[in-house]
Structure 1
Amino acid sequence: MLLDHVIIDGGDAGSAPSSSGHSRRNFLKIGAAAGGGLLLGFRLSGFSGAAAAADSEDFAPNAYIRIGRDNEVTLIVAQVEMGQGTFTSMPMLIAEELEVDLGQVRVEPAPANDKLYANPLLGFQATGGSTSVRALWKPLLQAGAAARVLLIKAAAETWNVDPASLRAEKGEVIDAASSRKLSYGALADKAATYPVPDAPALKDPKDYKLIGTPAKRVDTPSKLNGSAKYGIDAMLPGMKFAAVAACPTFGGKLKSVDDSKAMAVKGVRQIVRLDDAVAVIADHNGAARKGLAALVIAWNDGPNAHVSQADLIEQLREAAKTDGVVASRIGDAQKAISGAAKKIEAVYQQPFLAHAAMEPMNCTLDLREDGCDVFVGTQVITRAQAAVAKATGLPLNKVKVHNHLIGGGFGRRLDEDGIYQAARIAKEVDGPVKVVWSREEDTQHDVYRPYYYDVLAAGLDESGAPIAFSHRVVGSSILARWAPPLFKGGLDFDAVEGAAGPYSFPNVLVDYVRHEPPPGMTTGWWRGVGMTHNAFMVEGFIDELAAAAKKDPVEFRRALLGKSPRAKAVLDLAAEKSGWGSPLPAGRGRGVSVIFGFGSYLAQVAEVAVDKDGTVRVERIVAAFDCGRQVNPDTLKAQIEGGSIFGVTAALYGEITLRDGRVEQGNFDTYQLLRINEAPKIEVYLVDSQEAPGGAGEPGTAGIAPAIVNAIFAATGKRLRKLPIDANALRSA
């Protein structure tokens, strides 16, 4: 996502951190916590701007370690937990350097405040782009180390001994010579009187006790026993429930509503009319749903009333004929291709995709004249706060967002449209109100992964080696809408991420043509947008080049990875573990893909079976993953497994289509997800690496679709360049 381009391509270059760490001073204040104890603040360097002076009374750092007299360690973090393991990996970092057990660290979600809690790699308070560990790795280690140094110093002065003679272990400072011990809680007040060390010494990684070891998820027990609270679980005294319907056509408006039958439903209290939606307010959810179904609504469909899927694709096809903004140029690819011994061209397409998170969009608000409390699960808490402030007219500091666990984000909750709509509804309701979108509403008014229509070409020499590669990316720009300052010169860096893969070609041309869907149809992040589409295009096309050169797909890739040893290593490992080259029964095949994205390297081999009726079954996935230094290997494997399932779902079934300006899909019957009986066997092999940590949430999703279509080619000889997979195209004659 955009963070990679901020790092690699500059973004706001003057304030962007390097990908290898944080060079600015991270620790700015230490003092007494409320009620006593040690409060260690540390600033996460990056885009957050100038910090207040360390001795300023109103200074508040970005994140805190709080050590109480009860010996409990509290970590306040801005990264939301949405199933990726953040609330386990963040405490592991603190616990490692602080020398406490993982179970001793408690996590508190941070309030909305960009100034204090900006993600160093994104520039504001957000969870996305596989950045949590990448952004907080070094600051949290340093914070834990600084606290440990201060606690040891406090013990040393208490006992009048040399700090070097003491050690910290399991929440205590120990004097081995005298067998004396003091708990952190007993030392916290004294430690709070010392200035924070500028550069505390960190452990040698060989001495890690927690980092790199599998740790059980700290949030699992509450999710199993039902006590975990998601946004949809929010309940307030006197709360009303709202069921909502927005105009089914993009850009359409509400014309009229006959609410006579709806108001007759027991429990229905009022009807709220917005310019583009209508909501039924009731005492409970059942009454709200029943009342909504009883409404007679007339819509003004607007200018997109007759837009079809075929129209959109034709517009993209025409746009692809125009020259784009150059993203990458090495040598003269066009000249080299035109003079090559063999020229290969292809058009690859990927559809609009919905997020289909299990927790549908929802938001609960308690709006009063003097302020508003918002209960929601969001990846962008400060944007949520701003959306409510805009809708209600309240000052930002009067809007308090209570962020909850998220039942599936995948980038959908990087947008605040549902929260803004809920706030508009809340303005018309007396007392708290919970707005929950139906599954159909969620699917038909999503922020969709863009439709891409890409044109690729390459030239091979007489030996079959590629001498030139070109890739024209055609699609809408998420950056232009979501982060306008990063959309410069007509180039969307996310849209072209990975557009030449991890490979080295003598001549390269990547360009970008922006083409937007109809007004009102919004495109957005979808679990690694740029990589998810470019990996499919590039890795499918690389397989075509291998076939044209009459070379094995793995060996063909190896020859192009001479400048990327880590990519070559994961390719070799995945090939070995999958049994690449060993015979398979008729109708089965293996396909491979290699990607570099989010600071990580991943190779996946998919083994598929294709039936005579064209049905595709993904039987096995073998993944080799190098994400640099591992924090929790168990979570990393789970992320690749979950990402792969997400990607298989999209490859086999995912597609949002339009007819008469309306989304045709509604629920899981028409927007199908992978069923449990269809899930493949997944093997994940982690590469032991000493490099800086990379991301894990999105690579698995990005790389699996091309591995599947490449396996289909190996099984059937039929090349697929468009998703989702069309069974009709694979039927045996």
Structure 2
Amino acid sequence: MSAINSPALDRRQFLKLGGMLGGGLIVGLQLPAQVLAAQPEASLTDLGAFIRIGHDNQVTLVMPMAEVGQGVYMAQSMLLAEELEVDVDTVKVLASPANAALYGNPAIGGYQVTGGSTTIRAFWTPLRQAGAVARTLLIAAAAQVWKVDPASCKASSGYVYDASGQRKLSYGELVDVAAGLPQPAADSVVLKTREQMTLLGKPHHRIDTPDKVRGKAQYGIDFQTANLKHAAIAVCPVLGGKPVAVDEAAIKAVRGVQQVVLTDEAVAVVADNTWAAMKGLRAASIQWDFGDNASVGMEEVVQQLDSESQQSGGLARNDGDVEKALASATTRLEAVYQLPFLSHAPMEPMNYTVEITDKRCDVWGGCQTLTLAQATVAQLTGLPPESVFINNFLMGGAFGRRLELDGMIHAVKVAKQVQGPVKVIWSREEDIQHGFYRPYYYDRLWGGLDAEGKPVAWFHRVSGSSIMARAFPGAFVNGVDPDGVEGAKEPPYEFDNIRVEFRRVEPRGVLTSWWRGVGPTHNVFMVESFIDEMAAAAKQDPASYRLALLGNNPRARQVLELALKQAGWGKQLPERHGLGVSVQFAFGSYLAMVAEVAVSEQGAVRCQRIHAVIDCGLTVNPDTVKAQIEGGAVFGLTAALYGAITVKDGQVQQSNFDTYQPVRMYEAPLVDVHIVDSLEAPGGVGETGTAAVFPAITNAVFAATGKRIRTLPINPSELKV
């Protein structure tokens, strides 16, 4: 994977044919003007290209989004191939360079960010337009060669055919002519209708799978280069602390150790190989100054949240008169729900290789925020941004962890003191104990029912850390974090009186960030748990209760009805078995989930089966959608049953998969996924299944035991007979 240079392009045009590069046709894809206007001016020479067609007929797509395991290399290649009329299996992909002007995500303000389940939503139209423009140019080129009307020519499988079908020219043979033709405007090309599509919407194997199966896929941790040194790192266990002293003699007594590096908050040992670096670090006997956060513990965190949550927050939504409706309600409910800090715990721990010279800095590793990374490294090294090269790789899991740049920052700080390239690898323990964690949420909900049990008031106060206020301060308006209230501000149900607030509460000594979604991964749990409580208070079936509130939401109603049918809702179950349901609109998609659980007499919860029905609009690759829902459900199940990061004396207590336990293979449920055939605009998928599973599990536990779970992870001792 490498950066691509390009000819000068007019960045005010949406789609631009740039001409020849290395003997091929380059089609550059520009973001809409309203997105570009929010970006700093970039020199024209910084702009790249999405599509490259070589004389050898090879089509290469420079990926606007990073591959984090979610299948975008396949999906975005399918978008391109559908309109370009090429075999998707022949398309090669390259990771994009840092260039927000060209590869910015229009769904996230034009920043070059992979996240938020936005990949398909953001590039559904632009990538198809890029393919259609290139196809139109190649057809026009063939028509010019043959001196015929372009309308009489047709493109198929990387060739242009004349009307007789007897003459054909490959794209590679046409690129020189096409490069000199005037380009059509992006909005003038006619895209295929659903009926005309031959690729999109049909299952297809992923192009990145074979190399992964064979061990040939290159992740950041696999990168090798000449004269590479290896470093193991220990960051102060307490946020804000710093190293005071190390036993340098003991470290250097380890064979292979070359150097000891101290930074403001970490110690790194540089060696010939990773094992020597790790051994040297273990011998370091590091003395730390833990600083002001050494007394932080969970009691302080929860007490602060409890106190702050009793105060009013920023107003996210206020329809009707909630206070009046609550006062007149026949039945009034109140509940507090808590969700813990969570670690991303990706299989590939944080790692970056960095080489710094007087003239440039190269960084190799997986990153979800390329231009921010480029700017950050430029600031650290004193180099201009154009002299910083972020070489992106496949990522062995991230779930938002590689949105943050702390791993890269530590690696650059180490590399500044090392001659030549150095690979800095975190141990699993360092990765789990020094993360940016999903915030701890402490939400209060109030509800009112009339005499028939129908909701007449809904009041939800979200209390927790604001990631947006830290990362995108301009988005934190009037005390409301828009991400923090997603899934709460607009629940799928119809309420005449609804009030939603956000109370920002920042914990001392703990860093927070996105975790496979943030707002929905906690708000769907709160909303779907509390609506279940309302149904129980009304003595009504929880599924029927939901359906009655979805009269004006046909897409949500459809996925719920299908999920209930798939699960056999209402069937007889053994004792201490239960079905639980959840419905959500999040990340642009509608999803209903029914979980079947069994609860042992000792309180152990076993999820046996999950039925999920998703309406994610127009689908690119159904296989990927199913895989993401399946994986997301298991990821969420891990958090529901086991996930919790706790802090004592300022230090994270969990350290590896023994103390931060994932669901084991034998515990994984069967996950049935049904995709609704929809003509709506594409929605997101990658984070959707994770958000829905929490309440489906806990509502099933209630159905099995009659005990309501308001705090995760589930505590088996509370469910014992």
- TM bucket (normalised to shorter chain) is over 0.9
Deviation at 1:49, TM superposition (A): 2.6
Aligned to 1:512: 502
Deviation at 1:175, TM superposition (A): 1.7
Q: Which amino acid aligns with 1:254?
A: P
Residues of 2 paired with 1:518 and 1:676: CA distance?
36
Aligned partners of 2:308 and 2:505 also within 8 Å: yes
Aligned to 1:472: 461
What is the CA deviation profile of residues 34-77 of structure 1, one whole-angstrom value per residue up to 9, with x for unaligned ones? 23332111212252338999xx9946656421111111111112
Greater mean deviation of Cα atoms: 173-182 or 702-711: 173-182
Residues of 2 paired with 1:316 and 1:178: CA distance?
71
Q: Which secondary structure does the structure 1 equivalent of 2:582 belong to? A: strand
Aligned partners of 2:246 and 2:286 also within 8 Å: yes
Aligned to 1:7: none
Aligned to 2:8: none
Query: Are residues 1:86 and 2:72 paired?
Result: yes
Residues of 2 paired with 1:76 and 1:464: CA distance?
55
Residues of 1 paired with 2:43 and 2:693: CA distance?
52
Deviation at 1:686, TM superposition (A): 0.1
Q: Which amino acid aligns with 1:77?
A: M
Change (3 A) 1:52 1:208: farther
The correspondence of residues 153-172 of structure 1 with structure 2, limited to 5 A, is: 153-172=140-159
Aligned partners of 1:30 and 1:193 also within 8 Å: no
The correspondence of residues 34-53 of structure 1 with structure 2, limited to 5 A, is: 34-45=21-32, 46-49=34-37
Aligned to 1:18: none
Q: Which secondary structure does the structure 2 equivalent of 1:121 belong to? A: helix
Identical residues among aligned pairs (%)? 55
What is the CA deviation profile of residues 453-490 of structure 1, one whole-angstrom value per residue up to 9, with x for unaligned ones? 00001000000000110000000100011111111222
Residues of 2 paired with 1:556 and 1:348: CA distance?
21
Q: Which secondary structure does the structure 2 equivalent of 1:156 belong to? A: helix
Query: Are residues 1:714 and 2:700 paired?
Result: no
Q: Which amino acid aligns with 1:127?
A: T
Aligned to 1:6: none
Deviation at 1:417, TM superposition (A): 0.7
Change (3 A) 1:178 1:642: closer
RMSD across aligned positions (CA):
1.7
Aligned partners of 2:47 and 2:99 also within 8 Å: no
Residues of 2 paired with 1:209 and 1:61: CA distance?
32
Aligned to 2:57: 71
Unmatched 5+ residue regions in structure 2? Answer: 1-10
Residues of 2 paired with 1:371 and 1:69: CA distance?
32
What is the CA deviation profile of residues 545-564 of structure 1, one whole-angstrom value per residue up to 9, with x for unaligned ones? 00001111111111111221
Greater mean deviation of Cα atoms: 380-389 or 622-631: 380-389
Deviation at 1:161, TM superposition (A): 1.7
Q: Which amino acid aligns with 2:553?
A: S
Aligned partners of 1:62 and 1:118 also within 8 Å: no
The one of 103, 109, 116 equivalent to 1:117 is: 103
Aligned partners of 2:599 and 2:606 also within 8 Å: yes
Change (3 A) 1:106 1:601: same
Residues of 2 paired with 1:179 and 1:294: CA distance?
74
Query: Are residues 1:421 and 2:413 paired?
Result: no
What is the CA deviation profile of residues 584-610 of structure 1, one whole-angstrom value per residue up to 9, with x for unaligned ones? 111110000001011100000000000
Query: Are residues 1:635 and 2:616 paired?
Result: no
Residues of 2 paired with 1:62 and 1:515: CA distance?
42
Deviation at 1:100, TM superposition (A): 1.0
Query: Are residues 1:135 and 2:122 paired?
Result: yes
Deviation at 1:277, TM superposition (A): 1.2
Residues of 2 paired with 1:654 and 1:529: CA distance?
15
Aligned to 1:14: none
Residues of 1 paired with 2:116 and 2:22: CA distance?
37
The correspondence of residues 597-676 of structure 1 with structure 2, limited to 5 A, is: 597-676=586-665
Aligned partners of 1:96 and 1:210 also within 8 Å: yes
Q: Which amino acid aligns with 2:101?
A: K
Change (3 A) 1:366 1:51: closer
The correspondence of residues 577-588 of structure 1 with structure 2, limited to 5 A, is: 577-588=566-577
Deviation at 1:278, TM superposition (A): 0.9
Q: Which amino acid aligns with 1:672?
A: Q
Query: Are residues 1:174 and 2:138 paired?
Result: no
The correspondence of residues 422-437 of structure 1 with structure 2, limited to 5 A, is: 422-437=411-426
Aligned to 1:213: 202
Aligned to 1:148: 135
Residues of 2 paired with 1:723 and 1:302: CA distance?
31
Residues of 1 paired with 2:129 and 2:495: CA distance?
41
Aligned to 2:227: 238
Aligned partners of 2:16 and 2:30 also within 8 Å: no
Aligned to 2:669: 680
Aligned to 2:7: none
Query: Are residues 1:108 and 2:94 paired?
Result: yes
Equivalenced residue count is 706
Q: Which secondary structure does the structure 2 equivalent of 1:555 belong to? A: helix
Deviation at 1:637, TM superposition (A): 0.3
Change (3 A) 1:457 1:560: same
Q: Which amino acid aligns with 1:547?
A: A
Residues of 2 paired with 1:256 and 1:58: CA distance?
49
Q: Which secondary structure does the structure 2 equivalent of 1:296 belong to? A: coil
Aligned partners of 2:30 and 2:101 also within 8 Å: no
Q: Which amino acid aligns with 1:709?
A: T
What is the CA deviation profile of residues 390-442 of structure 1, one whole-angstrom value per residue up to 9, with x for unaligned ones? 22222211111110000001000000011001101111111111101111100
Q: Which secondary structure does the structure 1 equivalent of 2:623 belong to? A: helix
Residues of 2 paired with 1:117 and 1:632: CA distance?
22
Change (3 A) 1:610 1:354: same
Aligned partners of 1:27 and 1:196 also within 8 Å: no
Residues of 2 paired with 1:730 and 1:391: CA distance?
52
Change (3 A) 1:71 1:609: same
Scaled by the length of structure 1, what TM-score is found?
A: 0.94
Q: Which secondary structure does the structure 1 equivalent of 2:332 belong to? A: strand
Change (3 A) 1:728 1:147: same
Deviation at 1:622, TM superposition (A): 0.2
Residues of 2 paired with 1:339 and 1:661: CA distance?
46
The correspondence of residues 590-601 of structure 1 with structure 2, limited to 5 A, is: 590-601=579-590
Q: Which amino acid aligns with 1:155?
A: A
Residues of 1 paired with 2:361 and 2:239: CA distance?
30
Q: Which amino acid aligns with 1:503?
A: Y
Residues of 2 paired with 1:26 and 1:579: CA distance?
53
Aligned partners of 1:588 and 1:715 also within 8 Å: yes
Aligned partners of 1:580 and 1:590 also within 8 Å: yes
Aligned partners of 1:324 and 1:511 also within 8 Å: yes
Change (3 A) 1:296 1:332: same
Residues of 1 paired with 2:49 and 2:581: CA distance?
42
What is the CA deviation profile of residues 249-294 of structure 1, one whole-angstrom value per residue up to 9, with x for unaligned ones? 1222222222221121111112111121111111111111111111
Deviation at 1:524, TM superposition (A): 0.2
Aligned partners of 1:52 and 1:59 also within 8 Å: no
Q: Which amino acid aligns with 2:267?
A: V
What is the CA deviation profile of residues 140-195 of structure 1, one whole-angstrom value per residue up to 9, with x for unaligned ones? 11111111111111112222222222211111111232621111111111111112
Change (3 A) 1:178 1:629: closer
Residues of 2 paired with 1:589 and 1:126: CA distance?
40
